[in-house]
Amino acid sequence: MQLFAIIRTGVARARMAALLQNQILIMSSPEKIVIASRESQLALWQANFIRSRLLELYPQTDITILGMTTKGDQILDVSLSKIGGKGLFIKELELALEDGRADIAVHSMKDVPMIVPSGFRLAAITEREDPRDAFVSNDFTSLEELPTGSVVGTSSLRRESQLRARFPHLQVRPLRGNVQTRLRKLDEGEYSAIILAAAGLKRLELGYRISMLIPPELSLPAVGQGALGIECRDNDPDMVEWMKPLHHATTAYCVEAERAMSRVLGGSCQVPLGGFAEIFEGVLTLRGFVATPDGSKIIADKLCGKPESGERVGEQLAQNLKTHGAEEILAALA
Ligand SMILES: NCc1[nH]cc(CCC(=O)O)c1CC(=O)O
Q: Does the C-beta of 200 come closer than 6 Å to ligand 1?
A: yes
Evaluate: CB of 159 within 6 angstroms of ligand 1.
no
Alpha carbon of 271 to ligand 1 centroid (Å): 17
> CB of 170 within 8 A of CB of 102?
no
CA distance 237 to 121: 10
- For the chain, give every domain's residue range: 31-127+226-247, 133-214, 258-333
Task: Tell me the best of 70, 108, 196 to mutate to test the pocket of ligand 1, counting ligand atoms within 8 Å of each CB and taking the most.
Answer: 108
Q: Which atom of ligand 1 is nearest to the CA of 89?
A: 2
Supply the DSSP symbol for 85. Answer: -
Task: Give the pairing of strands 193-197 and 151-153.
Answer: parallel
Atom of ligand 1 nearest to the CA of 199: 8
> Please, is 54 exposed, middle or buried when counting C-beta atoms within 10 Å of its C-beta (0-12, 13-18, 19+)?
buried
Task: Check if the beta carbon of residue 282 is closer than 8 Å to that of residue 312.
Answer: no
Q: Whose CA is nearest to atom 1 of ligand 1?
A: 111
pLDDT in tens, the chain (334 residues): 444 444 444 545 555 555 555 555 555 899 999 999 999 999 999 999 999 999 999 999 999 999 998 766 666 555 555 544 556 678 889 999 999 999 999 999 999 999 999 999 999 999 999 999 999 999 999 999 999 999 999 989 999 999 999 999 999 999 989 999 999 999 999 999 999 999 999 999 999 999 999 999 999 999 999 999 999 999 999 999 999 999 999 999 999 999 999 999 986 557 899 999 999 999 999 999 999 988 899 999 999 999 999 999 999 999 999 999 999 998 887 7
Which residue has the least CA distance to atom 7 on ligand 1? 200
Instruction: Write out the catalytic residue numbers.
Output: 111
> Which is the CATH superfamily of the domain at 258-333?
Porphobilinogen deaminase, C-terminal domain (3.30.160.40)
Q: Which fold has domain 31-127+226-247?
A: D-Maltodextrin-Binding Protein; domain 2 (3.40.190)
**Cβ(108) – ligand 1 distance below 6 Å:** yes
CA–CA separation, 87 and 84 (whole Å): 8
Q: Which stretches of the chain are DSSP H helices?
A: 2-7, 10-27, 41-57, 71-74, 91-98, 157-166, 179-187, 198-203, 237-243, 249-264, 310-321, 327-333
How far apart (Å, rounded) are the C-alpha atoms in residues 183 and 196? 10
pLDDT at residue number 290: 96
Residues 6+ apart with CB under 8 A from 135: 142, 143, 193, 195, 210, 211, 212, 213, 214
Q: Do the domains 258-333 and 31-127+226-247 match in fold?
A: no
Q: Is 70 in the pocket of ligand 1 (CB under 6 A)?
A: no
So what's the pLDDT on residue 7? Answer: 44
Contact 175, 152 (CB under 8 A): no
Is 255 a pocket residue for ligand 1 (Cβ < 6 Å)? no
Contacts for 93-97: CB closer than 8 Å, 24+ residues apart? 93/36, 93/37, 93/38, 93/68, 93/231, 94/120, 94/231, 96/36, 96/66, 96/68, 97/36, 97/231, 97/232, 97/233
Q: Do residues 235 and 161 touch, judged by C-beta distance below 8 A?
A: no
Does 136 contact ligand 1 (Cβ within 6 A)?
no
Q: What is the pTM of this model?
A: 0.88
Gap from CA of 313 to ligand 1 centroid (Å)? 25
Does domain 133-214 correspond to CATH entry 3.40.190.10?
yes
Q: How far is the CA of 178 from the centre of ligand 1 (A)?
A: 9
The per-residue pLDDT for 86 is 54
Q: What is the DSSP letter of 79?
A: -
Atom of ligand 1 at shortest range from CA of 109? 11
- Using most ligand atoms within 8 A of CB, pick from 75, 109, 110, 154 the residue to mutate for ligand 1: 110
CA distance 5 to 161: 59
Cβ proximity of 38 and 179 under 8 Å: no
Ligand 1 atom 9: residue of nearest CA = 226
Under 8 Å between Cβ of 86 and 111: yes
Residue 210 CA, ligand 1 centroid: distance in Å: 15
Q: What is the ipTM of this complex?
A: 0.92
